[in-house]
């Protein structure tokens, strides 16, 4: 499955155990009449997919829909769904302005090879 939208939130990585690290990515759909805010989960080595993303970027998230059953301490069954990220395509860079330092200015006179003054 896949869903396109604009990156709204990238939460910090969480270490759950020595075998489980996860990170949450939230996007907002942009082509819908009623935009949706959707939370995706990247687990273990897939958290690297979020390293180069920035808020405001347009992306397509490829994911699997996972569901599971869990029995709590009271013996009650509960059900959970997860949108598990496996690939992210960046469609456009963030709208956040990028700062570029000014070109280095040298105080030394440089020779130029122009044929005129």
Gap between the terminal Cα atoms of the chain: 64
Task: List the chain residues with pLDDT less than 70.
Answer: 93-117
Using CA atoms, how far apart are residues 4 and 89, in angstroms rounded to an integer? 9
What is the model's pLDDT at position 78? 96
Q: Which domains does the chain have, with CATH numbers?
A: 2-92 (2.40.50.140)
């Amino acid at each position: 499955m896949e869903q396109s939208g604009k990156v709204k939130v990238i939460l910090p990585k969480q270490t759950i155990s020595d075998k489980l690290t996860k990170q949450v990515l939230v996007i907002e759909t942009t082509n819908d009449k009623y935009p949706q805010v959707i939370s995706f989960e990247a687990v273990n080595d897939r958290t690297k997919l979020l390293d180069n993303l920035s808020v405001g970027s347009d992306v397509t998230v490829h994911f699997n829909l996972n569901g599971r059953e869990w029995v709590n301490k009271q013996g009650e069954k509960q059900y959970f769904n997860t949108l598990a990220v496996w690939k992210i395509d960046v469609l456009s860079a963030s709208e956040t302005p990028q700062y570029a330092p000014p070109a280095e200015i040298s105080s030394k006179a440089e020779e130029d090879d122009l044929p005129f003054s």
